[in-house]
Amino acid sequence: MSKPQVAIIGAGPTGLASIKQCIADNLDPVCFEATSYTAGLWRYTEISEENNDPHSSCYNSVVINTSKEIVEKFQLIPHIKFNTTVLNLTILPDKRWNVRCVTKGEEETEQVFDYVMVCTGHHRYPRLPNYQGMDQFQGNQIHSHFYRVPSDFANKRVVVVGCGNSGMDISVELSGVASQVYICTRRGTLPWILPRLLHGKPIDHYNSRFYTTWLPSFVKNYFIKRTVKTTIGPSPIPGLDPKTNPSNSHPTLKTNFYDCLSNGTIIVKPNISRLNKDNSIEFLDNTKVENIDAIIYATGYKIEFPFLDSKIVNGGGEVLKMFDEEYKENLVWLYKRMFPPKYPNIAFLGLVQLIGAIFPLSEMQARYITSQITGHIPSHPPISEMNKEIKEHQASLQKRYYTSARHTIQGDYFQELDNLGTIPAFLCNN
Ligand SMILES: NC(=O)C1=CN([C@@H]2O[C@H](COP(=O)(O)OP(=O)(O)OC[C@H]3O[C@@H](n4cnc5c(N)ncnc54)[C@H](OP(=O)(O)O)[C@@H]3O)[C@@H](O)[C@H]2O)C=CC1
């Protein structure tokens, strides 16, 4: 009998884990990778005329592990079709998937697969705000996806929009070279800023099952607030400390942001109300800054899969009606964070924003899927049960996090691993 054929889309860390696991389970994987290299969105690439729409969102100072070891050790390269973009996936009457793709400089081709593992990540397509006057502003406007090095902004007056990790990192980098940096927060406050290291260890290493699963959130919030108070302290500019609890948002990690606030190289502003032709910018508190050279929108990413009908990922009409306008832009309606209830033989991996590293979960997801393809673990429950699980998960996210497009795929490290790893047949098989 021939081996089941599996299409893997993307050779980033999640795609590489998927190839490795398919090989281990005696499946036949073909990985389609749009670029000429592995590591996908996690590989730093310069922006140039030839590479003006980069895959990677990494700026030069982000420290990354490009997964070279796994590629070499498990001999994954022969399974990857580089420079090959998947254009379209269609489901066939026998529930297999037709993959239409094109390799650079060649004709389009089609191939049928028993299963598809989508591993393209969620930091590829910039989300932009919509401000009055954006089309009239004469300065440079870019999304943080296109930001690479601070020297491009030397001696410039720059406005950074958004206070996630990108906005905070970039504004601090720029503060060393720009003549003035402004950062806008649409919440009116700064986010919770947590120490990167605590007693010499990365802060996420203090996560434990007991902490994340058993402690009530008011106790967790108390501990985090106390840690922040004793390590970082409050904002040096009064009135900017967050009004929500630490557990209500994706955390932001410490840079020397507060140093920059105190010496004035970064000034915090509320959201923008309009941009003007004379390069001035007005804010919601009726203040105005003049002569702005550049705006960097660090406003996060859209979760998109251009080769697929979006309702496969977000559940479509009836499901979308349940959510707020912004939240539904990035809604992911997947059973166990991977499986669209109505579409068999396809899974999305790495679509969880963990507080902790994503790579162990990607690997666990790949193992779960290949165990299911090989029949070591049971297939899915009925569609109604899958929808119920997703609905409950989304309700718990909405209860915990404030409503924002950045919070639709949040996950806790241990719960997400346990959600897959506690199935006995799965453990025995691996
Ligand atoms: N060094 C590191 O470890 C880094 C990690 N990252 C990770 O990459 C991921 C993406 O981060 P990032 O690029 O910061 O994106 P995020 O989605 O995390 O943050 C986006 C920011 O933009 C704000 N925003 C969104 N839409 C608007 C709007 N229309 N008007 C004004 N403000 C808006 C959000 O506000 P609100 O909160 O109100 O939604 C939020 O402050 C995260 O997981 C992050 O942790 C990124 C950079 C560095």
For residues 289 and 280, is the Cβ–Cβ distance under 8 A?
yes
In a mutational test of the pocket of ligand 1, which residue from 160, 194, 299 has the highest number of ligand atoms less than 8 Å from its CB? 299
What pLDDT sits at residue 48?
A: 86
pLDDT at 422 over 80: no
Rg (CA), the chain: 23
* Ligand 1 centre distance from Cα of residue 403 (Å): 13
What pLDDT sits at residue 56?
A: 85
Averaged confidence pLDDT in the chain? 93
Give the contacts of 264 (CB within 8 A, at least 6 positions apart): none
Q: Model confidence over 158-199: pLDDT tens digits?
A: 999 999 999 999 999 999 999 999 999 999 999 999 999 999
Mean pLDDT, to the nearest integer, of 291-310?
97
Helix axes 413-421, 359-373, angle to 10 degrees: 20
| Protein residue with its CA nearest to atom 26 in ligand 1 | 299
| Residues paired with residue 7 on neighbouring β-strands, in sequence order | 30, 116
Residue 67 binned pLDDT confidence (cut-offs 50, 70, 90): low
For residues 33 and 81, is the Cβ–Cβ distance under 8 A?
yes
* Ligand 1 centre distance from Cα of residue 252 (Å): 9
For residues 64 and 80, is the Cβ–Cβ distance under 8 A?
no
Q: Which residue has the tokens 């919030």?
A: 221
* Ligand 1 centre distance from Cα of residue 298 (Å): 6
Nearest to 303 by CA among 323, 322, 325, 331: 331
Amino acid identity for residue 86 in this structure = V
Return the ligand 1 atom nearest residue 353 CA.
Answer: 43
| Protein residue with its CA nearest to atom 17 in ligand 1 | 300
| Residues paired with residue 353 on neighbouring β-strands, in sequence order | 410
Mean pLDDT, to the nearest integer, of 11-21?
95
pLDDT at 423 over 80: no
* Ligand 1 centre distance from Cα of residue 404 (Å): 10
pLDDT at 66 over 70: no
Q: Taking CA 253 as the corner, what is the angle to CA 248 and CA 258, rounded to the nearest 5 degrees?
A: 105
CA atoms of 29 and 7, how far apart (whole Å):
6
In a mutational test of the pocket of ligand 1, which residue from 165, 256, 303, 397 has the highest number of ligand atoms less than 8 Å from its CB? 165
What pLDDT sits at residue 65?
A: 61
Residue 430 binned pLDDT confidence (cut-offs 50, 70, 90): very low
CA atoms of 194 and 220, how far apart (whole Å):
13
Nearest to 360 by CA among 279, 421, 294: 421
* Ligand 1 centre distance from Cα of residue 297 (Å): 10
* Ligand 1 centre distance from Cα of residue 271 (Å): 14
Nearest to 34 by CA among 103, 97, 113, 99: 103
Q: Model confidence over 92-119: pLDDT tens digits?
A: 999 999 999 999 999 999 999 999 999 9
174: left (phi over 0), alpha (psi -120 to 50) or beta: alpha
Q: Model confidence over 323-374: pLDDT tens digits?
A: 999 999 999 999 999 999 999 999 999 999 998 888 899 999 999 999 999 9
Q: Which two tokens stand for residue 171?
A: 């504004």
Q: Model confidence over 131-160: pLDDT tens digits?
A: 999 999 999 999 999 999 999 999 999 999
* Ligand 1 centre distance from Cα of residue 165 (Å): 6
From first CA to last CA, the distance across the chain in angstroms is 23
* Ligand 1 centre distance from Cα of residue 23 (Å): 36
- Evaluate whether ipTM surpasses 0.95: yes
Q: Model confidence over 200-224: pLDDT tens digits?
A: 998 988 888 888 888 999 999 999 9
DSSP state of 339: B
* Ligand 1 centre distance from Cα of residue 145 (Å): 11
Return the ligand 1 atom nearest residue 404 CA.
Answer: 39
Give the contacts of 198 (CB within 8 A, at least 6 positions apart): 206, 227, 231
CA atoms of 401 and 218, how far apart (whole Å):
14
pLDDT at 316 over 90: yes
| Protein residue with its CA nearest to atom 18 in ligand 1 | 164
What pLDDT sits at residue 425?
A: 56
* Ligand 1 centre distance from Cα of residue 406 (Å): 7
Return the ligand 1 atom nearest residue 130 CA.
Answer: 29
Mean pLDDT, to the nearest integer, of 45-69?
80
More confident residue, 235 or 57: 235
Instruction: Report residues whose beta carbon is within 6 angstroms of any ligand 1 atom.
Output: 62, 123, 129, 144, 161-167, 169, 186-187, 250, 271, 298-300, 353, 404, 406
Return the ligand 1 atom nearest residue 167 CA.
Answer: 14
Helix residue ranges, H only, 1-64: 13-24
| Protein residue with its CA nearest to atom 23 in ligand 1 | 162
| Protein residue with its CA nearest to atom 36 in ligand 1 | 404
CA atoms of 213 and 229, how far apart (whole Å):
24
pLDDT at 291 over 50: yes
pTM, 2 dp:
0.95
* Ligand 1 centre distance from Cα of residue 164 (Å): 3
145: Cα within 13 Å, side-chain hemisphere: 19
Q: 368 in helix, strand or coil?
A: helix
More confident residue, 419 or 63: 419
CA atoms of 200 and 192, how far apart (whole Å):
20
- Kind of pairing between the strands at 115-118 and 5-9: parallel
